[in-house]
């Protein structure tokens, strides 16, 4: 039996309040599945940092056993070594041997820091839990799926959000409790600046519809003229290929792929994207894929549910107008 | 200041890897091997720091079979001064790699270690963080900008939601993201020179590192194939199938 702590990310809402992120709810779901394979240990949640208390208070209906929260000046801003020490202190107090977190940029950064402190093996970016307790994870840009076993006593797992449903936040009865003592925390650096790519659109990793543009879109202005209007009629998040991000057409955190974000929306529209394996790694589990590309041989058509061979500068605005018509 | 840059030998990213019939391993026959692209970015950044007078020496290190010397030589052909080759033929996971690299780092004086945020074979994204924690160092992952000033590294990181800039004291570990730089190609004279640069071979025993792993691969398989799609004639047909067939509008 393993006792699991899930570390959750805190997302600020437009109204200034705070909430657990959706990818963290997916990590809770995966943790529950893993606990069941080990004979049913408890799953607890830990929220750290500014807004942890109010985000925790909203989770009394969660299906986890306890929701712990910790907020102090030392954790006002996320830093991996500091947060890792809080996590380890919490796990010791709780008697937990296993950590789960979402494979967000924070989770990817933090999890191995905890693994080092616990001498734990880590399975990264899991997409499934097998009945025998092994964990499924993609390797080689998703060309290969590995079933892996963590052989150390302590275990660390990061979870690909698109592969698990979010755990419910109502119907349970979780105790909400402040984590009191965490001991001395290391500092090792400070955050000196932020440059947030503010957007009114849905968040890319959890959006139901994603419209992505590639190198062929040609400029940031063309993203505005061609890609954004289609995204807006669909209520979609905007994504991009690496080539589009490298060329400065779109911000870095819009990159979809092996080394960017992984999405699996109901509908993914790829505009002027060739479909390199590294891009496919981030979107090929989408339910419906539409590709617009003028090259009929482009590899994106091998995964597209519907492919349209056309010039994107004609087809995309036409599609926007047609969908507007249908949606009224 | 000396900079240490780990390089991993990985299959070329343009190659579609195949799984052996019994699911135990990757078919490596005839595969083209390269230096992990993120590590190339790390070598480039170290060389730029040397060219800017911040660093004095760039040392590349790899853990792998004899053949991995090719990737080490590639780093030296780009311009690194010398190489360390930890010869190892067994299965390597992030945990073991980080323990080997920590032992290597402890034999020298490297205020800065720069390495890729992930290797494109295992896609684990762990080694840099593990290494920093094992060495009690500061860490900045996913770097898209790096400057070194007054005993600290200022690193802009690619994070969900945008960019974050941190200032971390040296000694530090920095992991590279794609936008940090565009690596130079190894020039012909560079390749010639690299042949004469010193490579020291080491073993795990010499480093007092036990060859255990923390994660074991039980089975490898291919992902489920997507059902074949089809081409539509025009925008009107596309909208119709999205509405009537896929029901996503
Ligand atoms: C280590 C590493 C990691 C990587 N990680 C990622 C990643 O996470 N995500 C990612 O996306 N890539 C990644 N890549 C890059 C990837 O290999 C490709 O280079 C990239 O995805 C190509 O982007 P693209 O499809 O926009 O551009 P291109 O491959 O140049 O494709 C452009 C497409 O547009 C089409 N086109 C041109 N003009 C028009 C027009 N007028 N109308 C319609 N179609 C048109 C062309 O036919 C072509 O198919 C990575 C590469 C490496 C080495």
**Chain B residues touching residue A112 (CB < 8 angstroms):** 94, 125-130, 133
Does the distance separating the beta carbons of A143 and B222 come in below 8 Å? yes
Of the pLDDT bands very low, low, confident and very high (cuts 50, 70, 90), residue B18 is very high
Q: How many CA atoms lie within 13 A of A239 on its CB side?
A: 33
Tabulate helix, strand, coil % of chain B (nearest 5): 30, 35, 40
Query: Is the model's pLDDT at B15 over the cut of 90?
Result: no
SS3 A279: helix
Any ligand 1 atom below 6 A from CB of A93: no
Does the distance separating the beta carbons of B246 and A305 come in below 8 Å? yes
Query: Is the model's pLDDT at A199 over the cut of 90?
Result: no
Any ligand 1 atom below 6 A from CB of A98: no
**Confidence (pLDDT) at A13:** 86
The minimum-distance atom of ligand 1 relative to the CA of A243 is 23
Of the pLDDT bands very low, low, confident and very high (cuts 50, 70, 90), residue A39 is confident
pLDDT tens, position by position, A122-143: 999 999 999 999 999 999 999 9
In chain A, residues 205-244 whose CB comes closer than 8 Å to chain B: 205, 209, 242
Chain A residue closest in CA terms to B162:
A196
pLDDT tens, position by position, B123-134: 999 999 999 999
Please indicate, yes or no, whether the overall pTM of this predicted structure exceeds 0.90: yes
**Confidence (pLDDT) at B84:** 98
Chain A residue closest in CA terms to B19:
A144
**Confidence (pLDDT) at A214:** 98
Sign of CA dihedral B177, B16, A304, A220: positive
Does the distance separating the beta carbons of A80 and B141 come in below 8 Å? yes
Tabulate helix, strand, coil % of chain A (nearest 5): 35, 25, 40
Query: Is the model's pLDDT at A22 over the cut of 80?
Result: yes
Does the distance separating the beta carbons of B158 and A253 come in below 8 Å? yes
Whose CA is closest to B173, among B141, B204, B205? B141
A211: which strand partners? A238, A269
**Confidence (pLDDT) at B32:** 96
**Confidence (pLDDT) at A177:** 97
pLDDT tens, position by position, A58-102: 999 999 999 999 999 999 999 999 999 999 999 999 999 999 999
Q: ipTM of the predicted structure?
A: 0.97
Sign of CA dihedral B245, B246, B247, B249: negative
Q: Is A200 on the interface with B (CB under 8 A)?
A: no
**Confidence (pLDDT) at A159:** 98
Q: Is A201 on the interface with B (CB under 8 A)?
A: no
Q: Is A284 on the interface with B (CB under 8 A)?
A: yes
Of the pLDDT bands very low, low, confident and very high (cuts 50, 70, 90), residue B172 is very high
Q: How far is the CA of A276 from the centre of ligand 1 (A)?
A: 6
The minimum-distance atom of ligand 1 relative to the CA of B38 is 1
Any ligand 1 atom below 6 A from CB of A243: yes
Whose CA is closest to B56, among B110, B116, B128? B110
- DSSP letters spanning B59-70: EEEEEE-GGGHH
pLDDT tens, position by position, B36-48: 999 999 999 999 9
d(CA B219, CA A145): 8
d(CA B82, CA B104): 14
Nearest by CB to B218, from A148, A197, A266: name it.
A148
How far apart are the CA of B193 and the nearest CA of chain A, in angstroms?
Answer: 32
Q: Is A98 on the interface with B (CB under 8 A)?
A: no
d(CA B230, CA B242): 13
pLDDT tens, position by position, A233-281: 999 999 999 999 999 999 999 999 999 999 999 999 999 999 999 999 9
Mean residue pLDDT of chain A comes to: 96
**Chain A residues touching residue B132 (CB < 8 angstroms):** 81, 113, 116
Question: Which tops the pLDDT comparison, A150 or A196?
Answer: A150
How far apart are the CA of A176 and the nearest CA of chain B, in angstroms?
Answer: 27
Task: Identify from B134, B237, B248 which residue to disrupt to test chain A contact, counting A C-beta atoms within 10 A and taking the largest count.
Answer: B248
d(CA B237, CA B231): 10
Any ligand 1 atom below 6 A from CB of A279: yes
**Confidence (pLDDT) at A285:** 95
Token pair for residue B120?
Answer: 């494109």
Whose CA is closest to A19, among A50, A63, A64? A50
Query: Is the model's pLDDT at A328 over the cut of 80?
Result: no
Chain A residue closest in CA terms to B172:
A188
Q: Write the CA distances from B153 to A53, A106, A241, B6, B172, integer angstroms.
A: 33, 20, 29, 19, 8
* Rg, chain A, Cα only: 21
Which helix or strand (DSSP H or E) is residue A299 part of? none
The closest residue, in CA terms, to atom 31 on ligand 1 is A274
The closest residue, in CA terms, to atom 49 on ligand 1 is A274
Residues B21/B74, Cβ–Cβ less than 8 Å: no
Task: Identify from A113, A120, A140 which residue to disrupt to test chain B contact, counting B C-beta atoms within 10 A and taking the largest count.
Answer: A140
**Confidence (pLDDT) at A286:** 97
Q: Is A306 on the interface with B (CB under 8 A)?
A: yes
Residues B215/B95, Cβ–Cβ less than 8 Å: yes
Q: How many CA atoms lie within 13 A of B124 on its CB side?
A: 28
**Confidence (pLDDT) at A255:** 98
How far apart are the CA of A289 and the nearest CA of chain B, in angstroms?
Answer: 9
Does the distance separating the beta carbons of A124 and B178 come in below 8 Å? no
Q: How far is the CA of A21 from the centre of ligand 1 (A)?
A: 30
The share of chain A scoring above pLDDT 90, in percent, equals 94
How far apart are the CA of B97 and the nearest CA of chain A, in angstroms?
Answer: 12
Mean residue pLDDT of chain B comes to: 97
**Confidence (pLDDT) at A1:** 80
Backbone angle region of B229, left / alpha / beta, with phi > 0 → left and psi within -120 to 50 → alpha: beta
Q: What is the rounded average pLDDT of the residues B51-78?
A: 98
Token pair for residue B37?
Answer: 């692209």
Query: Is the model's pLDDT at A198 over the cut of 80?
Result: no
Q: What is the rounded average pLDDT of the residues A275-293?
A: 97
Nearest by CB to B133, from A117, A259, A308: name it.
A117
Q: What is the rounded average pLDDT of the residues B103-128?
A: 98
pLDDT tens, position by position, B184-238: 999 999 999 999 999 999 999 999 999 999 999 999 999 998 888 999 999 999 9
Does the distance separating the beta carbons of A266 and B215 come in below 8 Å? no
Tokens 């899930």 appear where?
A6
Of the pLDDT bands very low, low, confident and very high (cuts 50, 70, 90), residue A14 is confident
């Amino acid at each position: 039996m393993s006792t699991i702590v899930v570390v959750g990310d805190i997302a600020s809402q437009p109204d200034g309040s705070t909430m657990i992120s959706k990818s963290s709810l997916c990590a809770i779901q995966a943790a529950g599945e893993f606990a069941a394979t080990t004979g049913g240990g408890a799953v607890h949640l830990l929220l750290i940092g500014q807004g942890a208390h109010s985000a925790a208070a909203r989770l009394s209906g969660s299906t986890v056993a306890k929701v712990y929260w910790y907020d102090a000046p030392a954790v006002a801003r996320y830093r991996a070594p500091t947060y890792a020490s809080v996590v380890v202190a919490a796990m010791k107090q709780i008697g937990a041997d296993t950590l789960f977190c979402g494979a967000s940029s924070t989770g990817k950064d933090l999890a191995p820091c905890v693994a080092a402190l616990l001498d734990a093996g880590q399975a990264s970016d899991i997409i499934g839990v097998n009945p025998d307790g092994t964990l499924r994870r993609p390797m080689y840009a998703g060309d290969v799926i590995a079933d892996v076993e963590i052989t150390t006593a302590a275990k660390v797992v990061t979870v690909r959000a698109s592969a698990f449903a979010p755990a419910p936040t109502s119907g349970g009865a979780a105790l909400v409790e402040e984590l009191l003592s965490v001991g001395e925390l290391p500092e090792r650096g400070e955050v000196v600046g932020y440059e947030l790519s503010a957007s009114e659109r849905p968040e890319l990793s959890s959006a139901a519809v994603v419209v992505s543009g590639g190198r062929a879109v040609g400029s940031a202005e063309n993203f505005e003229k061609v890609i954004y209007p289609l995204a807006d009629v669909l209520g979609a998040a905007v994504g991009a290929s690496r080539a589009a991000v490298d060329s400065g057409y779109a911000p870095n955190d819009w990159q979809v792929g092996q080394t960017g974000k992984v999405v699996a929306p109901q509908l993914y529209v790829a505009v002027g994207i060739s479909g390199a394996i590294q891009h496919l790694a981030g979107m090929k589990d989408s339910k419906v894929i539409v590709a617009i590309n003028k090259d009929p041989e482009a590899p994106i058509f091998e995964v597209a549910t519907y492919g349209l061979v056309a010039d994107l500068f004609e087809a995309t605005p036409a599609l926007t107008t047609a969908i507007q018509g249908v949606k009224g | 200041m000396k900079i240490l840059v780990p390089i991993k030998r990985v299959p070329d990213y343009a190659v579609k890897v195949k799984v052996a019939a019994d699911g135990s391993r990757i078919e490596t026959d005839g595969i083209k091997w390269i230096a992990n692209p993120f590590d190339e970015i790390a070598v480039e950044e170290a060389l730029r720091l040397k060219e800017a007078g911040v660093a004095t020496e760039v040392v590349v290190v790899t853990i792998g079979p004899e053949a991995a010397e090719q990737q080490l030589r590639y780093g030296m052909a780009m311009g690194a001064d010398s190489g360390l080759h930890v010869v190892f033929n067994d299965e390597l996971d992030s945990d073991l790699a980080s323990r080997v690299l920590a032992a290597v780092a402890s034999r020298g004086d490297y205020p800065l270690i720069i390495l890729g945020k992930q290797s494109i074979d295992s896609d684990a994204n762990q080694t840099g963080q593990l290494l920093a924690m094992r060495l009690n160092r500061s860490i900045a992952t996913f770097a898209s900008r790096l400057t070194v000033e007054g005993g600290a590294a200022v690193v802009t990181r690619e994070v969900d939601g945008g960019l974050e800039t941190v200032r971390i004291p040296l000694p530090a570990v920095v992991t590279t993201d794609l936008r940090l730089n565009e690596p130079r190609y190894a020039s012909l004279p560079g390749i010639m020179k690299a042949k004469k640069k010193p490579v020291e071979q080491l073993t795990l025993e010499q480093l007092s590192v036990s060859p255990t792993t923390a994660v074991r691969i039980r089975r490898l398989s291919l992902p489920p194939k997507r059902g074949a799609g089809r081409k539509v004639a025009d925008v009107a047909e596309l909208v119709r199938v999205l509405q009537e067939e896929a029901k996503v509008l």
